[in-house]
Structure 1
Amino acid sequence: MNTQLKLRVAEKKAIAEGIVLLELISCDGADLPAFTAGSHLQIELPGGHSRAYSLCNDPAERHRYQLAVNLDAASRGGSRAVHEAIHAGDTVEAREPNNLFALEESAPHSVLFAGGIGITPMLSMVRRLQALGSRWELHYSTRSASRCAFLDELTTGELAKQSRLYFDDGARLDIRKALAATQEGTHLYVCGPAGFIDAVLGAAKNLGWSEERLHSERFSAHPVEASGNQAFKLVLERSGLTLDVPADRSVMSVLLEAGIDLPFSCEQGVCGTCITDVLEGRPDHRDQCLDEGMRQQCFTPCCSRSLDGLLRIDL
């Protein structure tokens, strides 16, 4: 997962209002590491930023990675660097693709909901489902047709028949109606703005969908109440260090100050870049990316803390 890749920007083009598509290829012409539907790629950007973006091309492709990036008005430097500082022909460094939003390929039917730039992992998923001959349907909501990424492909290409598009200035998505029409055993996937994800998951739960059939990926986290934060000691097993984590500082900031080179990106617990194994103690999980199984053995130091006075981690 931490393998470093050197990639060349083979193409950069606008595909919708505020959205650019990057095509990245190997600098030496070799096949790229394989990825699975729902994976993201962590790339190093001009200005010292490191960001994770979902791969949107067909997982069967080994000659390229494609990323669609929306220019966020509240950008902290990531999306703005992609739009303004990266150009065709540039070389960028990245880490091998990682997947925290995996597709359940054995499901009898899949229903996918995308809001805005949340279409990126979904496009990779539906391409994989199409290749498998699986049953699926896509519901994609954007503000307008001008802000709809991959509009032509989803309205006239081979994916069009099972894709439904909705615009704020036109037909609106009826989430409950879309869910009620699905068959038993269907798995649900949703990605997009927090409010959109909450609405889709809330509707599914109200209809009796079980948790194991619900899958989501967030680009930003819900606000976390920090007034009750407690200080604790952080023991780094491999480094042999014991660090004090004050109540008003994150684990990540303490690690970086101590010279620990741990990759990170979102700083909100949504991308999974900084996931670290826990050896002793009970983490105070504040992430939005780990499932219950992963929470038994690891945590995200960018935002999570400790419920105990001591937390021992594998660093």
Structure 2
Amino acid sequence: MSAAGPIPVRVAAIETVSPFIKTFTLEPLDGGLLPAFSGGSHVVVTMQGRDKNHRNPYSLMSSPYERRFYQISVRREDDGRGGSKFLHGNVRVGDELAVSPPANLFAVNELGRRHILIAGGIGITPFLSQLYELRAQGSDYALHYAYRRADDTAFLDRLTAEHGERAHFYESSQGHYVEPGRILADQPLGTHVYVCGPEGLIDTVVTRARRLGWPESHIHAEEFAAPPSGKPFTVVLDKSGDELEIGPDDTVLDVLEDNGYAPDCSCRGGVCGECETAVIAGEIEHHDDYLSEEVKREHSRMMICVSRAASERVVLDL
């Protein structure tokens, strides 16, 4: 199976693992093997709705050693842009979807002496595939999993059974909170820390690690934040002259794809840098974590997966 373009898949199973989280098992339509991936990888799932297409990135949580299917877990976000609600409310076993080839912006460093995984809520999902690798390789690792309520949280029994004393749990409703400073202090040289979850947790872990003198190369974070809504605006494509209307809940990337363009983008969250586009005219409302502050002030570049126009029109070098 080629990994160059979208991969058609069939929903083979759907499991409700908590009141707000469902796990979807996706099998290739041709019955072959899916492209290989490593722990921490994600795919972009394309869902064809009645009024619009949804394209959302989701971490692969299944074993990297199993290529007959992929698994993703999706938390329903009622305030999101609609992708998670569509999966929860509209997708059934037997339905056909499409996924992108796997991309990994959150890989385990193979040279790490020890690995500290810190997850918050649904941020546990990329760690599930990483844990398969770490356990199979006999690596030194520890998981710290923070969540609000046990009855609204997935995978607790599984993590306990598979990882025993390496797994540590923090239920905030019971007054138990993760303490990144304590966890990161006095770790051996060569330790890497990985964090995924809410923005506040990520900021705290990264800040504490830096204060403790951790090298930047040993600090790894991933956050799939939904692109923000905003005022509608017009995008002019300089090379073709096409003008496209971007609605309040659309991204430039989504509208380009719906109109037959195929810009590169692995993350759809403003971190990978692949969709960086030159701005010829107009002002940009930046929402990415990739461009420098200097470039943002110049309004000369734009990450079309998350950023919007601050002006009514923007002309892009496309």
For normalisation by structure 2, the TM-score amounts to 0.78
Q: Could you say which residue in structure 1 is the equivalent of 2:156?
A: 151
Tell me the SS of whatever aligns to 1:96.
Answer: coil
Using the alignment, how far apart are the partners of 1:259 and 1:234 within structure 2?
12
The aligned counterpart of 1:110 is 115
Structure 2 counterparts to residues 78-157 of structure 1, below 5 A: 78-157=83-162
Partner AA of 1:56 in structure 2: M
Q: 1:73, CA displacement in angstroms?
A: 2.7
Gap runs ≥5 in structure 2:
296-300
Cα distance, 1:144 vs. partner?
1.1
Distance change in 2, residues 1:267/1:164 (3 Å): closer
CA contact (8 A) 1:192 1:218 kept: yes
1:63 counterpart = 2:62: no
- How far residue 219 of structure 1 moved from its aligned partner, in angstroms, is 2.0
Q: Any idea what the Cα deviations from partners look like across 1:81-134, whole Å, max 9, x if unmatched?
A: 111111112111111111122221111111111100000001111211111111
Tell me which residue corresponds to 2:304: 301
CA distance in 1, matches of 2:201, 2:128: 18
Change (3 A) 1:75 1:200: same
Distance 1:242 1:192 in 2: 41
CA 1:271/1:10 → structure 2, altered by over 3 Å: closer, same or farther? farther
Following the alignment from structure 2 to structure 1, what is the Cα–Cα distance between the partners of residues 4 and 178? 39
Alignment partner of 2:31 out of 29, 32, 41 = 29
- In structure 2, what residue type is equivalent to 1:44? T
Please tell me whether the aligned partners of residues 101 and 215 of structure 1 are also in contact (alpha carbons under 8 angstroms).
Answer: yes
SS at match of 1:134: coil
> Quick one: distance in 2 between partners of 1:257 and 1:119?
30
2:165 alignment counterpart: 161
Superposed CA deviations along residues 6-52 of structure 1, whole A, max 9, x for unmatched, are 11111101112311001111122101111111111111124121111
Measure how far apart 1:312 and its partner are. Answer: 7.9
Q: Which residue of 2 aligns with 1:44?
A: 46
2:201 to 196, 217, 232: 196
Q: Check whether the contact 1:243–1:254 (CA below 8 A) recurs between aligned residues.
A: no
- Give the Å deviation of 1:232: 11
Which SS does the other structure have where 1:92 is aligned? strand
Contact 2:119 2:195 in 1 (8 A): yes
Please say if residues 20 and 68 of structure 1, whose CA atoms lie closer than 8 Å, have aligned partners that are also in contact. yes
2:252 — aligned with what? 252
- Aligned residues: CA RMSD: 4.1
Q: Distance in 2 between matches of 1:113 and 1:127?
A: 16
Residue 204 of structure 1 and its aligned partner are, at CA, apart by 1.1
CA shift for structure 1 position 58: 1.3
Shift of 1:220: 1.6
Letter in 1 for 2:155: F
Return closer, same or farther for 1:66/1:222 CA change in 2, 3 Å cut-off: closer
Q: Which amino acid aligns with 1:162?
A: R
Give the Cα separation in 1 of the matches to 2:80 and 2:235: 32
CA distance in 1, matches of 2:14, 2:258: 38
Runs of at least 5 residues in structure 1 that lack an aligned partner in the other structure:
none
Deviations 1:206-235 (A, max 9, x none): 1111211111111227989x9xxxx99865
The within-5 A match list for 1:4-23 is: 4-23=6-25
Q: Deviations over 1:145-188 (max 9, x none)?
A: 1122111111122x233111111122221111111142112111
Q: Which moved more, 1:255-264 or 1:174-183?
A: 255-264
Identity %: 33
Contact kept? 2:228, 2:306, Cα under 8 Å: no
Q: How many residues align?
A: 300
> Are the equivalent residues in 1 in contact too, given 2:288–2:307 (CA < 8 A)?
no
Residues 1:138 and 1:28: Cα distance change in structure 2 (over 3 Å): same
Change (3 A) 1:18 1:181: farther
**Equivalent runs, 1:206-285 vs 2, <5 Å:** 206-220=211-225, 240-241=239-240, 252=252, 256=256, 259=259, 261-262=261-262, 269-270=269-270, 272=272, 275-276=274-275
Under a length normalisation based on structure 1, what TM-score does the superposition of the two structures give?
A: 0.79
Q: Shift of the alpha carbon at 1:276?
A: 3.0
